[in-house]
Amino acid sequence: MSLATILILAFGMGADSFAAAVAKGVAQRPNKTDAVLAGLVFGLTEGTALVIGWALGVAANAYITAIDHWIAFVLLTAIGLRMISSARRQQADPGPVAVSAWQGPVAIAVTAIGTSIDAAAIGVSLAFLDTDIIVAALVIAAATFGMATTGLLLGRVVGTRRGALIEIVAGGGLILLGCKILADHLGIFA
């Protein structure tokens, strides 16, 4: 997997964290230190979940090599569709932002884990592709850190509707990436 593809994947994966961070920024104006610390939690959690998923995928690789590109396609498409659906629901009914869910470091860690579950599934997909997991994990963790920190700091300015729009675009990007992986393995554009 090329670095450009990893970068696209990184920003697509970081969109969940960005949207969650925007919600926190809207609800509660964090200072720069709090935003950076929360961004670190989001980034490290995303990178760790990716590596865990990759390790599980490597363990299962011998059993499913013949259909690995289909698995990557299905997982990325499902995650992309879920992101789009979630963002569209948020756009339709933004509702009040739950400030209490964001109080304290434990709540931030739980939220980071919740937004990183998809990273484990994508990690499984990366185990079937020619991907340097260290590079992928570092790039994805860094992108998530940057997006979460930025989301926290811009939350009051951007608002939840624009955060949802970014999540829709990112979900579409993950779907396109899944289609590209499938097309490459099937030799459609060769």
For residue 95, the tally of other CB atoms under 10 A from its CB is 9
Q: Fill in the amino acid letter for 81.
A: L
Predicted confidence (pLDDT) at residue 181 exceeds the cutoff of 80: no
Q: Which of the two residues, 151 and 115, has the higher pLDDT score? A: 151
H or E element in which residue 51 lies = helix 32-64
Question: Pseudo-torsion of CA 167, 175, 110, 43, nearest 10°?
Answer: -80
3 state SS for 90-132: HHHCCCCCCCHHHCCHHHHHHHHHHHHHHHHHHHHHHHCCCCC
Q: 86-139: per-residue pLDDT in tens?
A: 778 877 765 554 444 445 677 677 777 877 877 888 898 888 887 899 999 999
Q: Which of the two residues, 161 and 37, has the higher pLDDT score? A: 37
Q: Contact 120/53 with Cβ under 8 angstroms?
A: yes
Rounded to two decimals, what is the model's pTM? Answer: 0.70
Q: What percent of the chain has pLDDT over 90?
A: 19
Q: Pick from 170, 176, 178, 172: which is nearest to 129 by CA?
A: 178
Confidence class of residue 153 from pLDDT cuts 50, 70 and 90? Answer: confident
What pLDDT, on the 0 to 100 scale, is given for residue 17? 81
